[in-house]
Chains A and B, each alone.
Chain A
Amino acid sequence: MRLTARQLRTLLPALSLVVLLAAIFYLQPRAMSYVGFNLMLNLAIPIALATVAQMCVITVNDLDLSIGTYVGFVACVGATLLSGGMGALPVVKELQASGALPATLPWIMQTPLVGVVALVFGIAVYAALGALIHWRNLPSIVVTLGMSFVWLGLSVLILPVPGGQAPAFLRSLMTLKPAYIPFPIIAAIVIAILANLLLMHTSYGAVLRGAGGNPKAIERAGWSLLKVKMTMFALAGFFGMLAGLSLVGLTTSGDANIALRYTLLSIAGVILGGGEFVGGRISPVGAVIGAVTLTLAGSFLSFMRISPDWQIGAQGAILIIVLAARTLIDRAERRR
């Protein structure tokens, strides 16, 4: 059976993951176990979610440079407001210690509902950004660049020094040990299927992608581009929120700078998974695979006994190799 160039293109992300996994198992057969997968792929969950978030924004030809600090913001909210309400904020604790606030706080200051409100606020801000970018025709790079400072500032205000504690339900969710199949694998598959259903198999999903491919056509067909942008940015905010919550469930405490690298990693993951910068050409399954591949690059190096210094470099190298392979496939396609 001969594969067409197009099929090869679609298979490329999965192929690169398989090659990387094969290399890891060849170097360290014991990694092919329940515990091994858990250790290698734990951090893939938040990265995969952040990558899906980034993909939503890339679908409508924008780019989110603030997703990393936003994930950090959610992690800080998760480690404070969501676990102990306003009473868990370092500021409030200081005031209690100095006697300005009573030792036992009223209900309103202890309820985790404040955390839920903060998370909803985050998603609302994302939707508002989508509206602002569409309304004033702004370059998303600059707007989200500004937002990255805003999220960082809010995180530092919530949690000036790393600390706090993740809510018990997040911790127990992230340390689930289902029978036979490790949790990270199940989570990755669920995320991929959900995102795929949402964007590739619903009628509005087609409109959302179409807005990236040919906005004019979508507008003439009677759809509101404003609504599309707001939906996609809100979706990005939603998946970014899940990323932050899963991350804080893993690390059990929050830190404003915890996910700064996610911004660039998520862009790399989308591209690695076969997504394109313009034209609404995306692949949700590919994006999740891309994120998993980038996460595994770290494990691969440690099995090769190469210093973790090279982890970022390996991620860059994988990106370049896959992009080069894609270019070769494209050229072969054109020649035919």
Chain B
Amino acid sequence: MNSFLRNLAGRPWLWAYVAAIAVWLVIVAFTGGRGGGEVLTAAFTFATFSVIVGIGQMYVVTLGPGNVDLSIPATITLAGAVATKVMDTQNGMILTGLLIALACGVAVGIANYALIWLLRIPPIIATLSSSFLVQSVAIAYGRGIRIKPPPALADFTTAQVLGMPVLAICIIALAAFMELVLRRTLYGRWVTAIGQNIRAARLAGVDVGRTRFYAYVMSAVFAGLCGYLLSGFSGGSSLSMGEEYLLTSIALVVIGGSSVAGGNSNVPGLWGAALFLFLVVTMLNTYGFGAGLRYLATGLIIIAVIVAASARRPAR
């Protein structure tokens, strides 16, 4: 038991899973054991999309205080709109659509970092102003009739194996890979080093500029991927499809046990946090709470988690 507790203290991300399982048990207790599997399937389905953008946001946040990508929702919307229009419901265009969605992400990421670098402004302002532009392009481009995604893409994003969404399995693999990148590659160590002490990192020979550049491009590319998959999943792109992912992506990073001050992050926590957030909403739904109370509870949970996290490392 003692070693278990020590494990918990050393791995803050375990808390997210403990909380997610606890909430799931509460749901199952209410329904008397029925529907537990379906709830999990739904949780994995919806958590997938927030985890994709959460990974990118986490790499950016790891870079240190002030690093946040506010352009994620706009990029999701733009990539979704452009990809569905290019694919034009044809199965043969699925790969082209994916590449175009990712290209949208690369373009936004480059623009973001160009603003940070050229204007020497805080990343929040840079990604904020570029998100205004990107959102506008998405609105102007995506106006008009809603185009359905190619059937094969829609099938893929909704497919299940033994109750487990195929997409979720893919993104779990992606998350595992990104955790490896963060922990085991030179690039991942550089990101963490910059977040811990940017001056020390620079003196140690870390290419700070390039490392930050890749992180911002990565975040935007993941947002593009999310927009592409989301438009396939929800039967086409819509102008507000990215909206909720700004707050969710930041919330995942925090609840997942990564340090908001940067320099100390983990990928597994993102999955735990995403499942936890979705299950909380489901729990409140099952107990008959309306939208107002659901928002209220979500907000209070985020604040409670950050307060609890600050207690964990009092000496900052």
Q: Say which size band chain A's interface belongs to.
A: 35 or more
Q: Is A312 within 8 A of B290, CB to CB?
A: no
Q: How far is the CB of A295 from chain B (nearest CB, A)?
A: 14
A245 within 8 Å of B by Cβ? no
- Complexed CA–CA distance, A310 and B143 (Å): 12
Instruction: Please give, as numbers and ranges, the residues of chain B lying within 8 Å of A153 by CB-CB distance.
Output: 291-299
Chain B residues in 8 Å Cβ range of A317: 132-133
Query: Is A277 close to B, CB under 8 A?
Result: yes
Complex contact B261–A139 (CB within 8 A): yes
A157:B296 contact, CB within 8 angstroms: yes
Q: Does residue A206 face the partner (Cβ distance < 8 Å to B)?
A: no
Residue of B119, B143, B261, B300 near A146 (CB, 8 A) is B300
Bound CA–CA A231/B129 (angstroms): 29
Contacts A63-B124, A316-B130 given; does A145 touch B302 at CB 8 Å: yes
CB <8 Å contact, A267 and B139:
no
Q: Is the CB of A154 within 8 A of B306?
A: no
A313 x B303 contact (CB < 8 A): no
Interface size class of B (residues with CB under 8 A): 35 or more
Cβ of B235 under 8 Å from chain A: no
A121 part of interface (Cβ distance < 8 Å): no
Q: Give every chain B residue within 8 A of A316 (Cβ-Cβ).
A: 129-133, 136
Does A98 interact with chain B (Cβ within 8 Å)?
no
| Chain B contacts for A65, CB-based, 8 A | 247
Bound complex: CA of A269 vs CA of B308, how far in Å?
33
Q: Chain A nearest CB: distance from B162 CB in Å?
A: 34
Looking at the assembled complex, report how far the CB atom of B292 sits from the nearest CB atom of chain A, in whole angstroms. Answer: 4
Q: Is B96 an interface residue (CB 8 A)?
A: no
Give A42 to B263 CA distance when docked, in angstroms. Answer: 45
In-complex Cβ contact of B290 among A146, A156, A310, A324 (8 A): A156
B125 with A271: CB separation less than 8 A: yes
Q: Does B201 contact A (CB under 8 A)?
A: no
How far is the CB of B21 from the nearest CB of chain A, in Å? 22
Is A277 a contact partner of B125 (Cβ separation < 8 A)? Answer: yes
Task: Give per-residue flags for B279-309: 1 if the beta carbon is below 8 A from chain A beta carbons, else 0.
Answer: 0000000000011111111111111001100
Instruction: Encode contact with A along B104-124: 1 for CB under 8 Å, 0 otherwise.
Output: 000000000001001111101
Contact present for A149 and B302 (CB under 8 Å): yes
A residues whose Cβ falls under 8 Å from a Cβ of B: 63, 65, 132, 136-139, 141-143, 145-157, 160, 264, 267-268, 271, 277, 307, 309-317, 319-320, 323-324, 326-327, 330
Interface residues of B (CB under 8 A from A): 65-66, 68, 70, 115, 118-122, 124-125, 128-133, 135-137, 139-140, 143, 247, 250-251, 254, 260-261, 290-303, 306-307, 310-311, 316
**What are 12 sample pairs from A and B whose C-beta atoms fall under 8 A apart?**
A138-B306, A153-B291, A153-B296, A154-B296, A156-B290, A271-B125, A309-B139, A310-B136, A310-B140, A314-B136, A317-B133, A320-B130
